[in-house]
Amino acid sequence: MKEVVLRSITNVRAGIYMLAALLLLVTNANAVIVKGTVTDPLGAVVIGARIQLIQGQQVIALGVSGVDGIFEIRSTAKGRFRLLGSAATFTPGVGKDFYGGVTEVVSQNVVLEIASVTEQVTVTATGIETPVQQTSAALSLIGYEEFATRLGVVDALRQAPGVQFVQQGQLGGVSSLFVRGGSSTANKVLIDGITAEDVGGVFDYGTLSSTAISSAELYRGPNSVLYGSDAGAAVVSFNTPRGESVRPVFVYKGEGGNFSTYRNQAEFSGTRQKLDYYAAFSRLNTSNALPLDEYHSITEAANLGYALFPGVLARFTLRNGVSASGLPGAHDFFGISNNGKQSDQDLYSGLTLESRTNNDRWHNLVRYGVTRKREQFAQYAYEGTVIPVFGFPENFGNVVTIRGANGYSATGQTSFFGSNSNASTNRDELFFQSDYAFSRHLSGLGSFRYENERGTFVLPDFVENERIKRTNYEYTLQFQGDIKNRLFYSVGGAIEKNHLYGIAGTPRIGLAYVPVRISNGWFRGTKVRASAATGVQEPTLSLEFASLYTQLQENDPNAAVDIAAYNIRQPTAQRSRSYDAGVEQNIHGERLIFKAGYFHNVFDRQLEGIDSNGLQQYFGLSPTVANTLFEGYVNSLAFRGQGAETEIEWQAMKHLFVRGGYTYLNAKVIQSFATDAAAAQNGIPTTNPNLPGIAIGAFSPLVGARPFRRAPHTGYFAVQYSVSKFSVGMTGTLASRSDDSTFLGFSDVNGDNTLLLPNRDLDFAYAKLDAHASVAATRKLTLFTQLDNLLSQQHIGPIGYPSLPFTARGGLTYRFGGE
């Protein structure tokens, strides 16, 4: 009897175990499994971190990281999730939302930031999502809050070291970016990973609206390894927001201010199962402060993502901008506004497929990108007075006195110049990237890029219609990793086959060492970094058309013979090389951080215009051949930019945050055969007859002088005070005097140079101070105001272009829906 009872108990136990095993198998078969590794910013694993799986506002499941930092969470729920990670001495971190379905295994790593600063991750610097603490790059991350009350992107990007914006005119005026002494065309610009600049690097930041900009990354230094041509001085990457809320969200923003300025903006976003969506529309109008300088812009943007399969995500992005602005020109030189108009139609779109497999170790990305840009300049009428010069009638402005920051002045009348033109850039781009984590300490990346570029440049007044087509290929290989989470390295190179200039190689190496790990306390956290890199740049359309090679083909009746005889070639790659070193010190638990760096850049083989005399003197062309040309562009310009950058970030109190920076730039022209430079070196420099003995670069800087529009001293600061429902802040951008030209050679009423002024310190120093405030009136309604140029500085732009004076705007943001 006893044996029967024991046998029955044994059978019951076996049945229970089998039932439990069966239930466990059924549960696992219908569960989403989320697993990953928890690390600190330097890649060291965090043991015992609490990871919560969040859906909407509810905690669905949780897990704890083990001794190897690995966690695993199982849940029978499906849909959109987030991970919330927390651990002692770390700031709680919220990850990006993702979709998880039943039976899916989702890999999501968690990086916990020490102390009080939120997690900062870069893709631009390495091509792989990497905490900034592990990179050797000089990098600035600009968040959504910096763009929130701005109309454009220029003022937000000014809050970074090593950069200087030059805006020719007021709102909507052409805005160019100079980084560490490089030219304004040496910056790669990306919008959602799509190449955005014109063929050859020109990009007008003045027409880019802040609408649908969630963040930006500014990489200072060459990065042609990852981004190819035009990344010779910097990379600027803009990102479009993504839908995150389970419930749809509608946001309306309306604002208005002086100078008849108003903007209406609407956004719609959210998620639904595998789909995340975001769309935005805005229209901006303003009269500006000058006659004939009205500006308006319309921006449309969309970002749609869909989880096709476990670990496979498809994403479509689109940004379309249409704008039109008056062209008052250098108003201070004419005394009246030019009657013209600039129109731009810019479209950037991309379709991306992205997959993550093998426990998130293998990542693949393929993207097809489209860029379509159109630009028209229309000269409606020539204002002013008609005066004959050398027997031909010309339109002249009023009599004005031009005063430079260097104390020199000139009085007279200058002629209007301008013409109708049309330009276009069409680019189709195919990009593939595959990166693999061999271990937590070593990753490799390989990529391929194909570009099909087409462009036109039409000058109907000169019966000129130029067209080009370039097909470019780039191959990249890069490795990055670390040794004991202390020494971080990145080494790579790319080979580019450019349709115009052939094959060019661009190596890069970067090192970062953390002798003292980041933690709370005084002087706990030191990072030393260094890098060396090269960059390449292809010429713009207009420079290719104006090159010596093209000019001989179009103007020399014996072009084939002379090109072969004088070994004239297509423009070669414009090159840059950079050395960079810096230190980052956490002075007090990341509440007070100091950064300092040194950079040395050389930009050589740059294109410059050389007249017939220079072509004879420096390139050996015969007088007969040289005199068939007015000017030809050749890769003969070289200049240097070296200096130091400093930054400080200070959490002064719980609600008060202060940051600032200063850059010293020592830029110098090393070699130039341009007309002005050659004449000065030959002892017959260009001069103003009223200022005898002073050599002037009328259209380009002289050898030994500073390149134009690069201030030797620049700085910025920001002060922000925020509580739960109220925020107020002030920002400032400062710059010293810089070299420039009036560019008014041979343009006075006698066809002389009396309106030229010495180049040194010609542009004024300035301090642009802005303020902003916002208050949450209700849960749905926020009121805000933005005050710009509090000191009403008139010389923020280059000489001749008066800046927009003090402006005030106010508005509201209404949010409906969402969690």
Give the containing element (helix H, strand E) for 477.
strand 464-483
Q: Which residues pair with 469 in a beta bridge?
A: 454
> Mean pLDDT, to the nearest integer, of 357-361?
80
745 or 41: which leads in pLDDT: 745
Looking at per-residue confidence, does 519 or 398 come out higher? Answer: 398
The whole-angstrom separation of Cα 150 and Cα 765 is 23
- pLDDT value at 23 more than 60: no
Instruction: Look up residue 704 and give its two tokens.
Output: 């030994």
**Pick from 234-238, 498-502, 590-594: least confident:** 590-594
Most confident of 18-27, 414-423, 698-707: 698-707
User: Domain 121-237 class?
Assistant: mainly beta
The answer to whether 148 and 454 are in contact (CB under 8 A) is no
Predicted local confidence at residue 248, as pLDDT: 95
Q: Which CATH class is domain 238-297+307-341+385-491+523-817?
A: mainly beta
| pTM (whole model) above 0.85 | yes
Q: Calculate the average pLDDT of the chain.
A: 89
Task: Tell me the mean pLDDT in the region 238-256.
Answer: 95
pLDDT over threshold 50, residue 509 = yes
CATH entry, 31-114, from 2.30.30.40, 2.60.40.1120, 3.40.50.2300, 1.20.140.10: 2.60.40.1120
Task: Quote the pLDDT of residue 21.
Answer: 42
Reported confidence tier of residue 24, pLDDT bands at 50, 70, 90: very low
Amino acid at 642: Q
Instruction: Give dist(CA 179, CA 163) in Å, integer.
Output: 5
Q: How far apart are CA 368 and CA 365, in angstroms?
A: 10
Percent of the chain clearing pLDDT 70 (strictly above): 95
Over residues 725-750, mean pLDDT: 94
Residue 5 confidence (pLDDT): 39
Min mean pLDDT across 72-86, 219-233, 271-285 is at 72-86
What is the mean pLDDT of the segment spanning 447-457? Answer: 94
pLDDT at 118: 47
Give the confidence band of 60 by pLDDT, cuts at 50, 70, 90. confident
> Lowest mean pLDDT: which of 2-11, 573-582, 630-639, 685-694?
2-11
For residue 642, the cross-strand partners are 600, 666
More confidently predicted of 38 and 262:
262
For residue 163, what are the CA distances in angstroms to 233, 580, 581, 662? 11, 15, 17, 10
Contact criterion met (CB below 8 Å) for 664 and 164: no
Candidates 375, 541, 363; CA nearest to 467 is 541
Q: Is pLDDT of 278 > 60?
A: yes
Q: Using pLDDT thresholds of 50, 70 and 90, give the confidence band for residue 115.
A: low
pLDDT of residue 15: 46
Q: How far is CA 19 from CA 13, 24, 28, 540, 640, in A?
A: 10, 8, 14, 73, 76
Whether the CA torsion 171, 177, 180, 181 is positive or negative: it is negative
- The yes-or-no verdict on residue 443 having pLDDT over 70 is yes
Contact 99, 82 (CB under 8 A): no
- The per-residue pLDDT for range 388-426, each reduced to its tens digit, is 877 778 889 999 999 999 999 999 999 887 778 899 999
Pairing of strands 526-537, 502-516: antiparallel
Q: What is the pLDDT of residue 626?
A: 85
Q: What is the pLDDT at residue 30?
A: 57
Residue 581 pLDDT greater than 80, yes or no = yes
Measured between alpha carbons, how far is 600 from 301 in angstroms, rounded to an integer?
A: 39
User: b vs e for 67-89, b when ≥16 Cβ sit within 10 Å of the residue's Cβ?
Assistant: eebebebebeebbbbbbbbebee
pLDDT band at 635 (very low <50, low <70, confident <90, very high): very high
Q: What is the mean pLDDT of residues 688-702?
A: 95
The domain limits of the chain are 31-114, 121-237, 238-297+307-341+385-491+523-817
